[in-house]
Structure 1
Amino acid sequence: MSLSETARERLADIVELQPTKNKELQRRWEMESGSEVHQYLENELRDYYYRDENSLIRATAEGVAIATGEEMADTLAVHMSDLERDIFAVLAGPDERSQSVVSVLHVLQDQGDEAYDVGEVRRALQTLSRKGVVEKVQRTVPTFRLAVERDAVVIDAEA
C-alpha cells in the first residue's frame, strides 16, 4: 500500500504521540470529529496502526519504519497485553504447524494461566497479527503461528 505525503505525515504523528486517542489526533489533524479520525485511520492507515488493550492508537512495527524512514529493525519493540504475552510465549514458531484459536486456548489452560475465553484469545491473536508478530494461516479454520522468531521481539510495556 503506497502512502500519500499526508498519510506519511499523519503516520509520523501517530508514532510521535503513541499511545494516543482519536481526540488528540483530531486536534493535531484539525478534523471535525473523532469519527472522521477513525474513518481516516481505517481508509488510509489500516495496515500501519492498531488499538491496544486500552483502545489507544499505536503504530505497527512497519508503520514506525515507514514513518521514521528506517528499515525494519532486526528486533521489534512491541507493546503487548498480559494475554498477548502469554500467547506469544506458547504459540507455534514460524517453522511449526499453525494452531487454531481453541488449540492456543487449551495450551494456556494446561499451563494454568488465567481463565481466558475463546473470544479473548481470538482477539489477542488477531491483534498480534496486526502488530506483525503473528501470521494467520487459513486452513479449514483460521490458524496462527509466529511470524518472527521469539528472540526477534522485545516485549515493551511502553512501546
Structure 2
Amino acid sequence: MTLSEEARERLEELVALQPTKNAELEERWGLDGGSEVHQYLESELKEYYYRNDDSLICATEDAAELVGAETETEDGKRIVRAPPLQAAVLDVLAGPDERSESVVSVLHALEDAGHEADVDDVRATLRSLVDKGLAERIQRTVPTYRLATPRDAFVVEELD
C-alpha cells in the first residue's frame, strides 16, 4: 500500500504517540471528532493500526518499520516520543520510589519549571502516560501519580 505524504506523516505520529486515543489524534490532526479519526484510520491506515485490549490505538510492527521508528537506544533504553506537555510532566513527575503526587501538585511542579498548563491538560496528560505504561495511578484521597519506571530506563524525544 502506497501512502500519501499526509498519511505517512500521520502514521509517524501514530507510531510516536501509541498507545493513544481518538481524541489525542483528533487534536494533533485537526479533525472534527473521534468518528472522523476512525474513518481516516480505516480508509488510509487500516493495515498499520489495531486497537489493544483497552481499545487504545496502536501501530503495527510494519508501521514502525515503514516509518523507521526506533523503539530502543543502543544501550536498551526505551525511546518515548511525547508531545511537549507529556515530556515536561515526565521531567517533573515523582519517581517510582517517591510518594505519588496529585494532579494539582504536578501542575505546580510544571509551573515551577516554567511550563504553562491548566489542570485539565495535566490530568489528561497523566492519564495518557498511564496508558503508555510510563506512569502509575495510585488512589489515595484523590488520584495520585508517579513514574512507573525509573527515569534512566527511557529517553524522551519531544514531538513538535
Category of TM-score, reference length = shorter chain? 0.5 to 0.7
Runs of 4+ in structure 1 off by over 4 angstroms are none
Q: 2: CA distance between counterparts of 1:22 and 1:90?
A: 33
Q: 2: CA distance between counterparts of 1:112 and 1:25?
A: 36
Q: 2: CA distance between counterparts of 1:88 and 1:19?
A: 19
Corresponding residue number in structure 2 for 1:86: 88
Q: 2: CA distance between counterparts of 1:152 and 1:47?
A: 24
Deviation by residue 1:29-54 (Cα, 9 ceiling, x = unmatched): 49xxxxxx9xx83xxx244745xxxx
Query: What's the TM-score, normalizing by structure 1?
Result: 0.59
- Residue type of the partner of 1:139? R
**SS of the counterpart of 1:136?**
strand
Deviation by residue 1:79-100 (Cα, 9 ceiling, x = unmatched): 2111111110011000111000
Count of aligned pairs between the two proteins: 115
Q: 1: CA distance between counterparts of 2:115 and 2:158?
A: 20
Query: What's the TM-score, normalizing by structure 2?
Result: 0.59
1:26 matches 2:28: no
Q: 1: CA distance between counterparts of 2:149 and 2:134?
A: 6
Q: 2: CA distance between counterparts of 1:87 and 1:157?
A: 12
Corresponding residue number in structure 2 for 1:148: 149
Report matched runs for 1:117-156 at 5 Å. Answer: 117-156=118-157
Q: 2: CA distance between counterparts of 1:104 and 1:82?
A: 15
- Going from structure 1 to structure 2, the CA distance change for 1:113 and 1:19 (only over 3 Å counts) comes to closer
Q: 2: CA distance between counterparts of 1:130 and 1:112?
A: 26
Corresponding residue number in structure 2 for 1:75: 77
**SS of the counterpart of 1:79?**
strand
- Going from structure 1 to structure 2, the CA distance change for 1:111 and 1:135 (only over 3 Å counts) comes to same
Q: Could you list the runs of 5+ residues in structure 2 that have no partner in the other structure?
A: 1-10, 15-36, 66-70
- The answer to whether the 8 Å contact 1:105/1:117 transfers is yes
- Identity in percent: 44
Corresponding residue number in structure 1 for 2:30: none
Question: For 2:103, which of 96, 101, 104 is the aligned residue?
Answer: 101
